[in-house]
Amino acid sequence: MESNSQNSGRMFHNRLFVLLGVAGVIFLLIVVRLFVLQIVNQTQYSRRAVNLTFREIRIPALRGDILDRNNTLLAANRNSFSVKIIPADVPPEQMEEVLANLSYALDIPPETIRKKVPSSLYRSYSPIEIVSGVGLSDVMFVAEHGDLYPGVFLDNHAIRSYPGVGSLFHVIGYINNINQNELRFLYNQGYRSYSQIGKSGVEKEYDMLLKGTDGKRFQSVDARGRTIVGEQIANIPPETGKTLVLTVDRRIQRLCEHALGERTGSIIVMKPATGEILAMTSYPWIDPNVFYQNDNQSKLSDYYNDRKNPFFNRCVSAVYPPASTFKAVMAAMILEEGLVPESYTVNCTGRVFIGDRYFHCEKRSGHGRLNLHSAVSESCNVYFYTIANEFSDISMIAEYAGLFALGEKSFIDLPEEASGTLPTPEWKLRQYSRRWIGGDTVNMAIGQGYLTVTPLQMANAYAMILNDGKIYKPHVLKAVRDSESGRIISETEPEVIHSVDFSPDTFRKIRSALRETCVSGTAKNVLTTKLVKVAGKTGTGQIAGVSDNYASWFISYAPYDAPPEEQVLVVVLIEPQADKEYQWWTPFAANIIYQGIFGNQNFYEAVTALRWQWLFPDLEKYKDE
Amino acid sequence: MNNGGGFGSHQKSLFGFDFILALMVLALCTIGILFIYSSGINSDNFQSSSEYIKQTVFCIIGIIASVAVLFIDYSRFRNLAVPLYILSVITLVFLLIFSPLINGSKSWIGIGGFGIQPSEFVKITAILILARFIESRQKEISALKVFAQAFLLMLLPAALVLMQPDLGTASVYFIIFIAMIYAGGGSPRYVVFTLIVVLLTLIITVLPHWEVLIAQRRVPLLELINNGVYFASFLSFWFLIMILSVIGYVIYKKPVFNKIAFFSAAVFISLILGKIGGSVLKDYQIKRLIVFLDPRVDPYGSGYHILQSLTVIGSGGLTGKGFMNGTLGKYDFLPQRSTDFIFSTIAEEWGFAGCLIVLLLFFGILTKIALAAREAKDIFGRMVCIGVFAVIFYHLMINIGMTIGIMPITGIPLIFVSYGGSSLIASLISVALVLNIRMRRFSI
């Protein structure tokens, strides 16, 4: 045992020696290599270090354009010039003069320039930007008198521009510098701290397609970082981002924009048979071009401080009680479950006593006896209170709301979609620690209470009525095109995201009740357009928790008697304030939109054709659009 | 002779403290902080980075942790080795599942604002478990079974790190394994066999890319690997040789057959592994492995770092341009100049003389660790020293080799010197283990 361990000790010493020997050989190799590099070839390398080192310069890629469905330009890149100075290239005795000249030529206060070029940087070789984002005319003088401005040069780069974007802000969005948080998640997708990134809308949703790939230029520079002219080594050209063609039609968007006017709310125009969004307006909105202007601070802070939040896309991110528009869902339930025969009538006296209190109808004097068809067109609450209370329960109503895809996202290709709330007794217990009561059920039957939806969800639910049970995925991207050749790379195909197996009769009966609404019901005498037959449903609901806030709906489609492929669906929502101002406006807006779409007229022509000039005292300003 | 360290050893321990080793390590850390400071200075002579402050803090944390380690008798780590190893494996699995990708790899755990790279600390637990394993199997250490078990013990963390993906750090576990099993008494046959297989596998993996990228002409012999039919026949050929020589050995008992069988088996296995390696590794990874052979073939891509580094080092000359007077390092010529390429900045500003100082410090540290291994009172202590020796040596060889263009680009930092908290703290703790073993070298 003793000799064995001595043996192993000697063996260990030998092997340790081998390891140390290997290390010694490698050390020797490193030293020899360093000697060759630093002593033998030193002159060669130091000359190269002075003259021939090259630096990688990024060539930013152009961002792809965004077009509407008729190829109208919605987002593009605009040439913008910036004036830069390399202080070390200015002879020191001329510095004051050059700065003063710049201040005069560019019309900038001398203090501003001096703040950008402090004397501590007079020996710096890094360029300093004096102004940016100005047009060629503003820098013309500097460009033509280069000899007056040693060390000053012009730089041309592209900035984003949204010509005539108007209320399309929420669909298109805007871009800005990437922030720390985004960078952490997106570093691996090729984003860097200097990247610009889409912050909302299509610019955010399809940023990867739009941004393109930066190129590189390898430039010879000397040891102090100065460019050696004419010594360009190699180029990897940048690749422009893809061109996106949207489903929106800017003509229809303009109609919606003016029809909504300055009323807080939103309008969606959609093709029910494909899910294409033809227009999407949400008021208030902002002008994204402000982000790229000089001296934009006060305007931006106005936007950020606006209590109505103009950044918020009310079409997909805001939730409201569906109010009476929910009666279409209730009608489907009554018909599909056969709760009562169609001829069954309820006598509306203006109110009904359920549980421990009275529930009122919109019409305080009462509708008298009415069946399902007229209960929908007259929007009688008492009918639906009674049916819900006597023949159904919350689980059945919630099930049917779910069958119409309420409470779930449609995954439209826009960011920040809300899912609304589809309440159930379990949900209420979890959320409020209170039991579900009978009053909650009858409230939900008329689309009030805890149930909330987005305007987009209601558009989808009504599209299902038109498509006999199918909902197509709503989308704003129509096609992706190569920016150079214009070749179409991909096109969005209609995709069914939700379908139910109701009898076609159910849908036909609801559609006929919706038509009745516009002929003799709550929306009669408003849909005056002669071009198409309109069908739809009104609704006014109180926004829960905010006592003075209302949501006023009109969901409609036209032509009534055409197949869904030829129909358009229009959802108008307005948030009237305390005095219920403009609560009545929603069907009026829809009427103008239908007149414009089907008469191929602009806003001015449509209003004139409808003889509604009296509604718009300042109509003349829309004349030349 | 095992488990000699009792309570009594504590009194003697202070006299055994290796001040010279500790000072040499601290000298390297100081040089590191100095050059992290220097590389943070931009072309306008402004300090634009706070990395040097952070590195100083990491260094202090590392020293405090090391002092704590010194007070624990290292024999206790023998029992801690197994739970630490299990914890390490769990952490690495956790990383793969939950960690976000940061700079292309899943190797970070975020705690508050700080990130920790657990794979740096797992190196220590790998050394501990292998040291314990070799000690406990001392009697049958030259058996194939023990060799294979030790291999699997290191393969597990290595494979998990490889999936992050971090090829460089994963290769450290292989070096730990080879150095420790060899010094621990494993059969040289198996060690040599493993080394041959790994080297051949590497070569076969990169050969097809080498043909395209470096040689830039058709090399007829390489058809044996590239062409599927030729490859199959080539593989069968070596398989046949292997079988025949085994049969020959069994019948005639001549040692020459044994040697042929040994070699043909190595080639056979390497061919298969190399083919797999070529398909598993991404093109750019293989490119990074071989571009050092001739960086000019890709001067704007993977060769960029090497060319710039060579220029920077070469311009340093005998005595360099003086501390903080380097120009090339400053003007953004050199990427990652405080981490992977810090040696280039040292070489530029302190020249050949400064490089010699750094290399001598490293060689002194390695010699001291080897001495500690020789004097260790038990096999566990010995083996831990050898593991630390291997890690330090491998890091400096690969990192410095990369900056002077004789080793592939693997992203391994220069131990003690490069910017990086986890790496610095873990390496200081491993040195503390060696100091600990030396302090308690007398068994009482």
pLDDT by residue (tens digit) across A538-592?
988 876 555 556 788 999 998 998 999 999 999 999 987 655 567 788 899 999 9
| Rounded Cα gap, residues A558 and A536, in angstroms | 9
Among A331-335, B220-224, B234-238, B382-386, the minimum mean pLDDT is found in: B220-224
Rg (CA), chain B: 24
Segment A325-346 mean pLDDT: 91
CB atoms within 10 A of CB B208: 17
Buried b (16+ CB within 10 A) or exposed e, A124-160: bbebeebbeeeeeeebeebeeeeeebebbebeeeebb
What is A57-246's CATH number, 3.40.50.1100, 3.40.50.300, 2.40.128.20, 3.90.1310.10?
3.90.1310.10
Q: Is B401 on the interface with A (CB under 8 A)?
A: yes
Query: Taking CB atoms and an 8 Å limit, are A34 and B404 in contact across chains?
Result: yes
| Rounded Cα gap, residues B127 and B121, in angstroms | 10
Touching A: B residues 289-318, CB under 8 Å? 300, 304, 308, 310-318
CB A458 within 8 A of CB A268: no
Confidence of residue B110 (pLDDT cuts 50, 70, 90): low
Give percent of chain B with pLDDT exceeding 90.
54
Instruction: Report pLDDT for B435.
Output: 94
The residue type at B100: P
Instruction: Report pLDDT for A55.
Output: 60
Segment B115-142 mean pLDDT: 92
Per-residue 3-state assignment (H helix, E strand, C coil) for A416-457: CCCCCECCCHHHHHHHHCCCCCHHHHHHHHCCCCCCEECHHH
CB A574 within 8 A of CB A552: yes
Work out the angle at residue B382's Cα, subtended by the Cα atoms of residues B379 and B386, and round it to the nearest 5 degrees: 135
In this complex, the residue of B185, B308, B316 whose CB is nearest that of residue A8 is: B185
Instruction: Report pLDDT for A27.
Output: 95
Confidence of residue B65 (pLDDT cuts 50, 70, 90): very high
Domains A57-246 and A250-290+313-622 share a fold: no
Token reading at B327: 């120009």
Segment holding B280, helix H or strand E: helix B255-280
Indicate if the pLDDT at residue B307 is higher than 90. Answer: no
Token reading at A435: 């039991």
Instruction: Report pLDDT for B353.
Output: 95
Indicate if the pLDDT at residue A305 is higher than 50. Answer: yes
Segment A29-57 mean pLDDT: 74
Q: Which residue did the predictor score with more confidence, A322 or A86?
A: A322
Q: Which residue did the predictor score with more confidence, A521 or B336?
A: A521
Give percent of chain B with pLDDT exceeding 70.
89
Q: Tens of pLDDT along A415-468?
A: 999 998 899 888 888 888 888 888 888 888 888 888 999 999 999 999 999 999
Confidence of residue B43 (pLDDT cuts 50, 70, 90): low
Token reading at A606: 């449509």
| Rounded Cα gap, residues A270 and A9, in angstroms | 86
SS3 A177: strand
* A14 to chain B: closest CA residue: B183
Return the CATH number of the domain spanning residue range A250-290+313-622: 3.40.710.10
Query: Count of A–B CB contacts within 8 Å?
Result: 134
Q: Is B48 on the interface with A (CB under 8 A)?
A: no
Q: Tens of pLDDT along A364-419?
A: 888 889 999 999 988 898 999 999 888 988 989 999 999 999 999 989 999 999 99
Indicate if the pLDDT at residue A167 is higher than 50. Answer: yes
Residue spans per domain, chain A: 57-246, 250-290+313-622
Indicate if the pLDDT at residue A151 is higher than 70. Answer: yes
Query: Taking CB atoms and an 8 Å limit, are A38 and B359 in contact across chains?
Result: no
Indicate if the pLDDT at residue A243 is higher than 90. Answer: yes
Indicate if the pLDDT at residue A361 is higher than 70. Answer: yes
Among A91-105, B95-109, B174-188, B414-428, the minimum mean pLDDT is found in: B95-109
In this complex, the residue of B104, B314, B393 whose CB is nearest that of residue A37 is: B314
Query: Taking CB atoms and an 8 Å limit, are B404 and A33 in contact across chains?
Result: yes
* B372 to chain A: closest CA residue: A16
The residue type at A623: K
SS3 B333: coil
Query: Taking CB atoms and an 8 Å limit, are A37 and B356 in contact across chains?
Result: no
Q: Tens of pLDDT along A186-222?
A: 776 778 777 888 999 999 999 999 988 887 776 665 5
Please state, in angstroms and as integers, the Cα–Cα distance from residue B379 to each residue in A513, B136, B252, B437, following that order: 92, 9, 40, 11
DSSP annotation string for A183-219? HHHHGGGT--TT-EEE-SHHHHHTHHHHS-B-EEEEE
Distance in Å, alpha carbon of B184 to nearest chain A alpha carbon:
7
Segment A47-65 mean pLDDT: 68
Distance in Å, alpha carbon of A125 to nearest chain B alpha carbon:
8
Instruction: Report pLDDT for B433.
Output: 96
| Rounded Cα gap, residues A125 and A86, in angstroms | 6
* A217 to chain B: closest CA residue: B300
Indicate if the pLDDT at residue B331 is higher than 70. Answer: no
Instruction: Report pLDDT for B338.
Output: 81
* B373 to chain A: closest CA residue: A16
Query: Taking CB atoms and an 8 Å limit, are B314 and A45 in contact across chains?
Result: yes
Candidates B300, B319, B385: best to mutate against A (most CBs of A within 10 A) is: B300
Instruction: Report pLDDT for A188.
Output: 67
* A2 to chain B: closest CA residue: B1
Preceding amide of B165 cis, omega within 30: yes
CB atoms within 10 A of CB A89: 13
Partners of A30 on chain B (C-beta within 8 Å) are: 359, 397, 400-401, 404, 406
Segment B290-299 mean pLDDT: 81
Indicate if the pLDDT at residue A49 is higher than 80. Answer: no
Segment B261-265 mean pLDDT: 91
**What does the CA dihedral A234, B212, B340, B180 come to, rounded to 10 degrees?**
180
| Rounded Cα gap, residues B200 and B208, in angstroms | 13
Indicate if the pLDDT at residue A50 is higher than 60. Answer: no
Segment B45-59 mean pLDDT: 82
Among A45-54, A123-132, A290-299, A341-350, the minimum mean pLDDT is found in: A45-54
Give percent of chain A with pLDDT exceeding 90.
39
Confidence of residue B1 (pLDDT cuts 50, 70, 90): very low
* A6 to chain B: closest CA residue: B1
A179: DSSP letter: P
In this complex, the residue of A24, A124, A187 whose CB is nearest that of residue B44 is: A124
Which long-range contacts does B287-290 make (Cβ < 8 Å, 24+ apart)?
Answer: B287/B209, B287/B213, B288/B408, B288/B409, B288/B410, B289/B202, B289/B206, B289/B408, B289/B409, B289/B410, B290/B206, B290/B209, B290/B210, B290/B213, B290/B214, B290/B408
Token reading at B3: 């488990």
Candidates A30, A33, A191: best to mutate against B (most CBs of B within 10 A) is: A30
Among A264-273, B44-53, B199-208, the minimum mean pLDDT is found in: B44-53
Instruction: Report pLDDT for B443.
Output: 62
Query: Taking CB atoms and an 8 Å limit, are B103 and A187 in contact across chains?
Result: yes
Instruction: Report pLDDT for B414.
Output: 95
Question: Residue B96: which residues within 8 A CB-CB, separation 6 or more?
Answer: B106, B160, B163, B164
Confidence of residue B7 (pLDDT cuts 50, 70, 90): very low
Token reading at B230: 């030729």
Indicate if the pLDDT at residue B444 is higher than 60. Answer: no
- In this structure, the strands spanning A66-67 and A243-246 are parallel
CB B187 within 8 A of CB B147: yes
Distance in Å, alpha carbon of A159 to nearest chain B alpha carbon:
27
Indicate if the pLDDT at residue B8 is higher than 50. Answer: no
**What does the CA dihedral B416, B422, B425, B427 come to, rounded to 10 degrees?**
-50
Helices B379-403/B118-136 angle, 10° precision? 140
Partners of A42 on chain B (C-beta within 8 Å) are: 314-318
Instruction: Report pLDDT for B11.
Output: 45
The residue type at A494: P
Partners of A194 on chain B (C-beta within 8 Å) are: none
Query: Taking CB atoms and an 8 Å limit, are B315 and A225 in contact across chains?
Result: no
The residue type at A582: Y
Q: Is A323 exposed, middle or buried (0-12, 13-18, 19+ CB in 10 A)?
A: buried
| Rounded Cα gap, residues B21 and A16, in angstroms | 18
Per-residue 3-state assignment (H helix, E strand, C coil) for A9-54: HHHHHHHHHHHHHHHHHHHHHHHHHHHHHHHHCHHHHHHHHHHCCE
Partners of B317 on chain A (C-beta within 8 Å) are: 38-39, 42, 46
Candidates B333, B365, B383: best to mutate against A (most CBs of A within 10 A) is: B333
Residue A66: left if φ>0, alpha if ψ -120 to 50, beta else—which one?
A: beta
Token reading at B158: 């290595």
Confidence of residue B2 (pLDDT cuts 50, 70, 90): very low
In this complex, the residue of B104, B331, B374 whose CB is nearest that of residue A13 is: B374
Candidates B46, B135, B187, B311: best to mutate against A (most CBs of A within 10 A) is: B311
Closest CA to A60 of A187, A143, A155, A163: A155
Among B77-81, B119-123, B281-285, the minimum mean pLDDT is found in: B281-285
Confidence of residue B26 (pLDDT cuts 50, 70, 90): very high
Token reading at B74: 């290292």
| pTM exceeding 0.80 | no
